[in-house]
Amino acid sequence: MEHSIPPSLLAKGKANDTRILKSINVLAALKVIRSTSGLSRADIARTTGLTPATVSSVVSILVSAGIVRETGYGESSGGRPPLLLEFNPDAFYIAGVDLGVSKVITVVTNLEGEVVSRARLEIDAHAGPEAIISRLLDATHAAFADAGDAAAKIAGIGLSVPGLIDAERGLSVFAPNIPGWASIHIAQRFRDEFGLPCWVENDARAMAIGEAMFGAGRGYQNILCVNVGRGIGAGIIVNGEIYRGKQSGAGELGHMTVDPNGPMCPCGNHGCLEVMAAGPSIAAAAIRAVSSGASTSIRELTGGRIEEITAEVVSEAADQGDTLAQGLIRESGRYLGIGIANAVNLLSPEIVVIGGGVARAGDILFDEVRKTVQRRAFTTMVNLPPIVPSARGEDASSIGAAALVFEEMLTVGRIADLGRQLRPTKQL
């Protein structure tokens, strides 16, 4: 996905059909200009199939916003030399904020997803909503302060949060691993604090948008992006557009049943993928093994404090060759592979991107996931999609949240006035 039309625009109805069409045309032209610099308007018309008049109109919008610039004249083919165009990634900047269970990350990037500034703060998931929101705002202030001159050209803020969201209302509805976090009007809090437009997205979908626009999924139209940390969620891109489903409920891969006789999940079901393969399940299995006296270096890595064993500790032990730790990572990979195989059968994606903390377990995990998907997914007989790690690592969802801003700003009504709208943000 290079860009997709925001659902809020598509939902406006027939009265805005012309605006929707203009937005589609702007996105089509921008996709071509982003991928190849030094094109003329005639080149864009030939590539996109748009009429020369339409290309002239949409290029004017992009040039006036500063997103596209004219770089000089090309060679003449007999008539007037054509003006050449290129994408300007520093026309303005975008901010992304990602709320995790143990940390918050804010980034400011340019329009190619290149990070200008970054702030990361630890949080206590049990501290309560107000304390967590305060940390979110603190991280964003810190990233803005470190952005230098770019801070005055930040066009908006994207917010990535776990669990269920209501994008239209800017609401974080429910985050299953953060006690007390429910019905938080998070977008409005950020608008009030920074005086900038804000949008909210689920963390796995934000990650998918970012990987599609700036990362491992760039150039693909059908993408499955799986975020594996303390929970498991998926972002789904179909024919170049993010798929949210009814009331933004799509992508709950973590609550797919992979073992009907498995342990109870916090959702009330038994044997969900999340309770079989996410970070807490890896840690719990390691604690049980250490408590039973199993031979492993995991205990030493925490100084004998078994309550401090985490999936990261297990991954570190696995990297050092610990047999038990490697087996636990492989077991997680097998269950994750079962879930992904089911999703591959349903969606037949061109590529699967896996991110989140557990994905940092590396080849041990990925090799097991790939083997399981190849063994279990029916469609792999004709199409085994590459299964790759996120290109943006820990920052995948925060960069994805920033990409959401770019996507939203590319509606014609917003982008045409962008140059006039940009102004210094509130005092930081």
Q: Which residues pair with 272 in a beta bridge?
A: 257
Q: What is the pLDDT of residue 196?
A: 94
**Any long-range contacts for 9-13 (C-beta under 8 Å, 24+ apart)?**
9/411
Q: What is the pLDDT of residue 95?
A: 98
Using CB atoms within 10 Å of the CB of residue 395, give its burial: 0 to 12 exposed, 13 to 18 middle, 19+ buried.
buried
Q: Which residues pair with 201 in a beta bridge?
A: 160
Q: Which residues of 101-126 are buried (b: 16+ CB within 10 A; e: fewer)?
A: bebbbbbbbbbebebbbbbbeebebe
Q: Are 364 and 399 in contact (CB under 8 A)?
A: no
Q: What is the pLDDT of residue 26?
A: 82
DSSP letter string, 351-366: EEEEESGGGGGTHHHH
DSSP letter string, 206-260: HHHHHHHHHSTTTT-SSEEEEEESSSEEEEEEETTEEE--GGG-TT-GGGSBS-T
Same fold, 7-87 and 218-390: no
Q: Are 1 and 213 in contact (CB under 8 A)?
A: yes
Within 13 Å of residue 111, how many CA atoms lie on the same side as its CB?
25
Question: CATH number of the domain at 93-210+395-421, please?
Answer: 3.30.420.40
Tokens coding 19: 């605006």
Fold topology of 218-390: Nucleotidyltransferase; domain 5 (3.30.420)
**CATH number for domain 7-87, candidates 1.10.10.10, 3.90.1200.10, 3.30.365.10, 3.40.309.10:** 1.10.10.10
- CA distance linking residue 350 with residue 238, whole number of Å: 10
Tokens coding 326: 């490697």
Closest CA to 314 of 286, 355, 292, 293: 286
- CA distance linking residue 364 with residue 206, whole number of Å: 26
Phi–psi pair at 242, nearest 5 degrees: -65, 135
- Encode the chain (428 residues) as per-residue pLDDT tens digits: 444 444 444 444 444 555 566 677 888 888 889 888 888 999 999 998 999 999 998 898 888 888 899 988 888 776 788 889 999 999 999 999 999 988 999 999 999 999 999 999 999 999 999 999 999 999 999 999 999 999 999 999 999 999 889 988 999 998 878 999 999 999 999 999 999 999 999 999 999 999 999 999 998 999 999 999 888 999 999 998 899 888 788 899 999 999 999 999 888 899 999 999 999 999 999 999 999 988 899 989 988 888 899 999 999 999 999 999 999 999 999 999 999 999 999 999 999 999 988 888 889 999 999 999 999 888 656 678 999 999 888 899 999 999 999 888 877 566 666 655 554 444 44
Q: Are 344 and 387 in contact (CB under 8 A)?
A: no
Sheet of strand 93-99, all strands in order from the earlier edge strand to the far edge: 115-122, 103-109, 93-99, 154-161, 198-202
Q: What is the pLDDT of residue 153?
A: 92
The total number of residues shown for the chain amounts to 428
Specify the pairing of strand 232-238 against strand 351-355. Answer: unpaired
Phi–psi pair at 36, nearest 5 degrees: -145, 120
Tokens coding 250: 């799509």
Specify the pairing of strand 154-161 against strand 68-73. Answer: unpaired
Q: Are 286 and 309 in contact (CB under 8 A)?
A: yes
Please provide the distance, in angstroms rounded to a whole number, between the alpha carbons at the two ends of the chain. 34
Give me the residue spans of the domains in the chain. Answer: 7-87, 93-210+395-421, 218-390
| 138 SS3 class | helix
The owner of tokens 């990409």 is 403
Using CB atoms within 10 Å of the CB of residue 2, give its burial: 0 to 12 exposed, 13 to 18 middle, 19+ buried.
middle
325 Cβ neighbours under 8 A, 6+ residues apart: 286, 296, 297, 298, 314, 315, 317, 318
pTM for the complete prediction? 0.86
